[in-house]
Amino acid sequence: MLLVVASISIGTAAQSYIKTTYRRWSAVESDGASGSQVARRMLDEFGCGQVGIKPVAGSLTDHYDPQDKNLYLSEENRAGGSVASVAVACHEAGHAVQHAQGFAMMRIRTALVPAVNFTQSIWFYVLLGGMWLNLSGLTTAAIVLFAFSVLFHLVTLPVEIDASRRAIAYIDASGMSPANAAGAREVLRAAALTYVAAALTSVLQLLYLIGRNRSRD
């Protein structure tokens, strides 16, 4: 119960903080350009002219797809010209630059994606099977499968932090006003906390599973 409460509390607090911060800076106009325009300039400056920018449905669904080399920006961040829009768009452009420059941690994360997609889809069923049949080997296998998700979260942290670092550096050099640049940094710090929370929660869950498995043994 403590693990459940801790996991829910950490996740809820992180999501609440990013939404509050994003909403506050979405109401503040940047220096005239939309998120997609600033991201386009950043991409071109770092030799990523081949990377496209496309719309994606939803809110805060922005991402970079290394498979088709496109930035996908939600409408509010693609067409919007707020400080938050520019911050998010430049963060995703930072991922494209990472990909183009062969950033090691991003290469590792990309390589993990197929394995993580597979293990995430089956680990819980393997765990249930081990508990139902009282087979410690199956429960151990389930924990190993879940560990891939934990590894993915841990590898994701430096990837996201580095993308934000690149975005902040570009925004600072772009001539944005100091107040707005500080707002962009605040948005990206809040976003980073959501990844920290996800990693921490997954580690807690892994420790719980290991402890329960040892108790059963």
Alpha helices, DSSP H only, in the chain? 2-26, 35-45, 75-78, 83-101, 104-133, 136-173, 178-216
Q: Name every residue whose Cβ is closer than 8 Å to that of residue 47 and which is 6 or more positions away in sequence.
A: 100
Exactly one of 29, 76, 92, 186 is catalytic; name it. Answer: 92
Q: How far apart are alpha carbons 7 and 112 in whole angstroms?
A: 24
Query: Which strands, in side-by-side order, build the sheet including 70-74?
Result: 52-56, 70-74, 63-65
Q: Beta-carbon neighbour count of residue 200 at 10 Å?
A: 16
Q: How far apart are alpha carbons 168 and 182 in whole angstroms?
A: 9
Pick the closest to residue 181 from 193, 169, 163 (CA basis). Answer: 169
Phi and psi for 74 in degrees, rounded to 5?
-65, 155
- Known catalytic membership, residue 76: no
Pick the closest to residue 169 from 105, 101, 100, 93 (CA basis). Answer: 93
Residues classed as catalytic? 92
